[in-house]
Chains A and B, each alone.
Chain A
Amino acid sequence: MGTAEPNGSNRHPDDALHGGPSRTSALLRVFRDPVVVVLTVAGVVDVATGDPAMHGIALVAVAAILIRDGLARASRASPAERPRPVSGRRFRFSPAVLAAGVAYAVLVGWFGRFSWPLTIGVAIPGVLAVAIAWRTDAAGPEPAPLEPMGKAAWLAVFLALAAWEVQALLLQPTITTASWAHPTLSTLMDPILAGHLGRSVTMIVWLALGGYLLELLNR
């Protein structure tokens, strides 16, 4: 849908990633997109560490879709020909949405962990949210560039978390055997997620986080 951009320019933010002086450089940018790289690596590592294959495949599939979208954008001659995300229906928190989310979490939390009903109960909001993120354009003006020092500070926290999780993983008896002596975050969550109450509360937190992320697209 060729609507006016929120920031008032004809240049779409995704064109900065996929457009460029030549098609070759645009293709290179698609494959070097950090999101594509991170999703692919995370998917492969996830399967290698013993998670069900479907989890890793889901991440790699999203990376593949992003590559396909990037290649489609790059193959179009000018930014004007490139399809725009639809900025139609947006996710918004409301009392009804909150009540529905809590009811959904209580219902789905009733199912046993790693059961098919719970898997479907998680997959439905997950797929819906990815679809909304795909179709929804950023609403507000382009955010100001972040200060390098500020980015570095947050990167340090995220890298520290990743490194601590990896050291706990590597200190397990095997990479696929959980250890209470060197617990990963997943192992620490196991007792909480063993019961209905813990699953439902965690599901509420997870759904709220997803709602918050989708709400960010409205600002």
Chain B
Amino acid sequence: MSSHAVTVAGFLLIFLAGLALEWRARRPSSRIPTIDALLRRAMYTRSGRVGVIAAWAWLGLHFFAR
């Protein structure tokens, strides 16, 4: 297995772990928050709101902008 494949597999594994966590969170009486609940909690304060949106804006800059 090439180092490229190992690296990509690692990213896929983490992505799947996130999906599994979200699936688990949506089960009744789960103690794990959904990503929705996590973000709403994080964005309840102004610094949280601005921080999360700034991180999103940075993603756009990073992938597209000079």
List residues of chain A with CB under 8 Å of any chain B CB. Answer: 13-14, 16-17, 33, 35-36, 38-39, 42, 46, 51-52, 54-55, 58-59, 62, 65-66, 69-70, 85, 113-116, 118-119, 121-123, 125-127, 129-130, 132-134, 136, 138, 140, 142-143, 145-147, 149-151, 153-154, 157, 160-161, 164, 168, 171, 180-183, 185-186, 188-189, 193, 199, 202-203, 206, 209-210, 213-214, 216-217, 219
CB-CB under 8 A for A210 and B64, given A181-B3, A188-B8: no
Q: Given the complex, which residues of A lie within 8 Å of B27, measured CB to CB? A: none
- Taking a contact as CB atoms under 8 Å apart, the answer to whether B31 and A149 are in contact is yes
CB-CB under 8 A for A213 and B39, given A62-B51, A164-B14, A185-B11: yes
Q: B11 contacts which of A154, A164, A199 (Cβ < 8 Å)?
A: A164
- Taking a contact as CB atoms under 8 Å apart, the answer to whether A123 and B59 are in contact is no
Q: A138 contacts which of B7, B33, B37, B49 (Cβ < 8 Å)?
A: B49
**Which residue of A has the minimal Cβ distance to B49?**
A133
- Taking a contact as CB atoms under 8 Å apart, the answer to whether B17 and A157 are in contact is yes
Q: Given the complex, which residues of A lie within 8 Å of B4, measured CB to CB? A: 180-183
- Taking a contact as CB atoms under 8 Å apart, the answer to whether A17 and B47 are in contact is yes
CB-CB under 8 A for A39 and B54, given A17-B47, A119-B66: yes
Q: Given the complex, which residues of B lie within 8 Å of A185, measured CB to CB? A: 11
Return A88 CB to nearest CB of chain B, in Å.
15
- Taking a contact as CB atoms under 8 Å apart, the answer to whether B11 and A188 are in contact is yes
Interface residues of B in 23-43 (CB under 8 A from A): 25, 30-33, 35-41, 43
- Taking a contact as CB atoms under 8 Å apart, the answer to whether B39 and A216 are in contact is yes
Q: A157 contacts which of B14, B45, B51 (Cβ < 8 Å)?
A: B14
- Taking a contact as CB atoms under 8 Å apart, the answer to whether B47 and A210 are in contact is no
- Taking a contact as CB atoms under 8 Å apart, the answer to whether A129 and B21 are in contact is no
